[in-house]
């Protein structure tokens, strides 16, 4: 059995016994299970009685491992969903349409209202009541990501998520009119030259598809912004035509949602080392295509690298998981920056100069088929002399 098949078989068996899996069966909702989603906007929906709209729940295998819940929800034109509250993290990504959200805490007389459109990303503060309205003439569709599977497992209860009366006023007050306004002034950079990461402090991104980004070096010539929303770290990353990311590994369940372009992701388990083709394990390397609107998620401690094979810069919206299962996997205390350090120096990234030569050749073959030149100079791949 291949590493991939063994991973899927093992994680499915463990997932089926979790409170979240049992809750999904009780809810009677539509479910899409898999390693990837080709296009979240094309998934078939079914009525979800709890909120009065249509939905499909997505259970990617790496999400089963990490404990993230994922759904696509549709609101018919001019209609509203039922009020809801979730005693867990919840982040929404608007895929299509325009609308508004009313939000308030238990016991509040005042409701805060903000508007959103395609590309908006925002977090619902833990356990805050909220109601989603479609203000347009086409169906509004959004993706919701939660850590409900972790919370249900922690309390061994799905009921707790929906019926906890506590108002977390230390996290959010409906008097705070600036909570859901995009803050364009709060950008910072950390890390040493060549290994920097950017951070954007905001609870609301107006349009992740079009947001301005700063230089960021995981891909040669890449740009990106990391952010923290409702305790969940994420980011928007973009890299040029004819280029790819350096492979790296980390905790399970980082969620990648391509926004622009197309390409593929290459993945292999950490146990196969930095050069899986060279060591005779090329048949264990998994290659999955992606395109705008898709979704994929690397398993925990699998190397993965993202390749752009499209004619425009590739942009991904990413969520890395917050305070979930990922934290129980031993990592260095400075693990955020260690991801961007070379494996040779104790980090978790394979620099271009250290990677398996087959990776670059395979990428060139794929780009040749499309008539797109590789735009990565030879010096990137030259070994540094000690």
**Positions that interact with Fe ion (CB under 5 A):** 254
Task: Give CA angle at 123 (119, 126), nearest 5°.
Answer: 160
CA distance 120 to 101: 12
CA distance 22 to 161: 14
CB of 359 to Fe ion, least distance (A): 16
Nearer to Fe ion, 161 or 359 (CB): 359
Nearer to Fe ion, 205 or 254 (CB): 254
Nearer to Fe ion, 90 or 316 (CB): 316
CB of 128 to Fe ion, least distance (A): 30
CB of 198 to Fe ion, least distance (A): 16
Nearer to Fe ion, 133 or 306 (CB): 306
CB of 305 to Fe ion, least distance (A): 9
CB of 197 to Fe ion, least distance (A): 12
CB of 323 to Fe ion, least distance (A): 18
CA distance 215 to 265: 22
CB of 271 to Fe ion, least distance (A): 17
170 Cα distance to chain centroid: 26
Nearer to Fe ion, 129 or 302 (CB): 302
CA distance 130 to 113: 9
Nearer to Fe ion, 97 or 222 (CB): 222
CA distance 136 to 279: 55
370 to 171, 351, 362, 365: CA distances (angstroms): 49, 26, 13, 9
* Residue pair 230/125 in contact by the 8 Å Cβ criterion: yes
Nearer to Fe ion, 155 or 336 (CB): 336
CB of 304 to Fe ion, least distance (A): 6
Nearer to Fe ion, 118 or 251 (CB): 251
CB of 23 to Fe ion, least distance (A): 28
Token digits for 347?
């980090």
Q: Which residue is nearest to Fe ion (CB)?
A: 254
Q: How many residues does the chain have?
A: 386
């Amino acid at each position: 059995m291949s590493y991939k098949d063994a991973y899927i078989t093992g994680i499915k068996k463990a997932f089926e016994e979790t409170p979240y899996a049992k809750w999904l069966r009780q809810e009677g909702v539509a479910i899409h299970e898999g390693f990837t989603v080709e296009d979240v906007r094309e998934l078939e929906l079914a009525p979800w009685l709890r909120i009065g709209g249509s939905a499909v729940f997505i259970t990617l295998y790496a999400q089963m491992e990490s404990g993230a819940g994922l759904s696509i929800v549709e609101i018919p034109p001019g209609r509203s969903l039922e009020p809801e509250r979730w005693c867990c993290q919840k982040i929404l990504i608007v895929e299509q349409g325009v609308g508004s959200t009313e939000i308030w805490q238990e016991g509040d007389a005042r409701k805060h209202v903000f508007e959103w459109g395609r590309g908006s990303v925002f977090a619902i503060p833990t356990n805050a009541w909220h109601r989603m309205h479609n203000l347009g003439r086409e169906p509004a569709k959004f993706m919701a990501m939660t850590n409900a599977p972790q919370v249900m497992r922690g309390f061994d209860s799905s009921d707790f998520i929906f019926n906890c009366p506590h108002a977390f006023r230390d996290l959010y007050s409906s008097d705070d009119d600036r909570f859901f306004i995009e803050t364009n002034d709060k950008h910072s950079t950390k890390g040493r030259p060549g290994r920097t990461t950017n951070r954007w402090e905001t609870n609301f991104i107006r349009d992740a598809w079009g947001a301005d980004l700063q230089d960021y070096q995981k891909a040669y010539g890449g740009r990106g912004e990391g952010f923290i929303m409702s305790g969940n770290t994420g980011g928007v990353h973009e890299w040029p035509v004819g280029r790819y990311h350096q492979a790296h590994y980390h905790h399970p369940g980082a969620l990648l949602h391509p926004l622009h372009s197309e390409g593929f992701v290459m993945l292999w388990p950490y146990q196969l080392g930095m050069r899986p083709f060279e060591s005779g394990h090329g048949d264990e390397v998994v290659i999955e295509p992606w395109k705008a609107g898709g979704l994929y998620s690397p398993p925990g401690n699998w190397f993965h690298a993202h390749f752009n094979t499209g004619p425009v810069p590739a942009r991904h919206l990413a969520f890395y998981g917050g305070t979930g299962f990922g934290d129980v996997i031993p990592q260095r205390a400075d693990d955020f920056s260690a991801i961007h350090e070379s494996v040779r120096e104790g980090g978790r990234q394979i620099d271009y100069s250290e990677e398996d030569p087959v990776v670059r050749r395979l990428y060139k073959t794929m780009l040749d088929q499309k008539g797109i030149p590789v735009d990565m100079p030879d010096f990137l791949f030259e070994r540094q002399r000690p």
